[in-house]
Chains A and B, each alone.
Chain A
């Protein structure tokens, strides 16, 4: 079709712009049906509409394994983000993954009879390690001093086993169980 580009809209030699033609593609007015410029352009636009439909329906699949590659990158990112600094006097850094630290602390809490550690989140702030620990306790044997025991063992594990001298422990009893 003969167009005069360079302006805001594309006009045909008859004065109609292509947008108007597109809007009235299935219901052309009298000029649209008789004008050869409009007829030619309409045929092109109809072809375009058809080909666009094919493009919409075309489901070229991503290469096999793309999901796995994306998720490997995501998981590597999680591991990197999860690293917590350990105190060291040496020039090189020492770090521990938050998950590994949580596992050690959960294990310490589990050594108290009638206690099972559940959610454990470890973070660092200016004061030292901050630990959120949720526990479930045996409803038949639990007594209050067990909570203090949990606190002591978690703090000891944090300082002696991991190397964090200062620990703020937020301990929550979230459930009971019957062993």
Chain B
């Protein structure tokens, strides 16, 4: 990242935030709330839940800044916290029986009908297909293919081996492609 003017690099901002500088932390929030919110939205298909997860992940990260070994590890850590929070939300939904992500998504990805109309048919098909993946597979696929996180980081996030992550992504890809068949 280029450091120009008042735009400070992540490591500097994290180091300052760790000293209790809320203003620096606010810059980190502004920088990463978008990607974290989108990950949560795609995991949960519910805007209110995604917002809660984003808020909790940033507050928890703030509280635990002192335990962060390396300032450069902040973003990966944020993704990890958000992913696990999403998985917990999904697990807590389970007792509601047939509550599927698709039903949560009934009002569109962010509840705005006008945006839903702009969404391409392919993207809509992909969102539906994502909802059919197991939450763990969906997390692996999203983190790698959409958010560009590394296999090792995803493995740490989910407490599995990098090989397992690769396997889950391959299976997710095959399952998604199957649903996306042009003649279906």
Contact = CB atoms under 8 A, between A and B. Distances in A.
B79 interface: no
A44 interface: yes
B123 A54 contact: yes
B109 A60 contact: yes
B182 A44 contact: yes
Interface residues of A, number: 38
A103 interface: no
Nearest to A63: B51
A70 B34 contact: no
A1 interface: yes
A47 B176 CA distance: 10
Contact of A52 (B51, B146, B167): B146
A62 B55 CA distance: 11
A59 B110 CA distance: 11
Contact of A51 (B29, B38, B109, B125): B125
Contacts of A78: 20, 22
Contacts of A66: 33, 37, 51, 54-55
Chain B interface residue count: which class? 35 or more
A152 interface: no
Nearest to B184: A44
Contacts of B42: 55
Interface in A8-61: 8-10, 18-19, 22, 40-41, 43-45, 47-48, 50-52, 54-56, 58-61
A3 B125 contact: no
Contacts of A67: 26, 29-30, 33
Contact of B126 (A1, A18, A52): A52
Nearest to A22: B173
Contact of A70 (B38, B55, B122): B55
B34 A1 contact: no
A69 interface: yes
Contact of B145 (A8, A44, A52): A52
Contact of A44 (B47, B55, B109, B178): B178
A39 to B, nearest CB: 11
A74 interface: yes
29 contacts: A1-B177, A1-B178, A3-B174, A3-B178, A5-B175, A10-B174, A47-B181, A48-B126, A51-B122, A51-B126, A51-B180, A54-B123, A55-B123, A55-B146, A58-B123, A59-B34, A61-B37, A62-B33, A62-B34, A62-B37, A62-B54, A66-B33, A67-B26, A67-B33, A71-B22, A73-B55, A74-B26, A77-B62, A78-B22
Interface pairs A-B: 3 shortest CB-CB: A10-B174, A62-B37, A44-B177
Interface of A: 1, 3, 5, 8-10, 18-19, 22, 40-41, 43-45, 47-48, 50-52, 54-56, 58-63, 66-67, 69-71, 73-75, 77-78
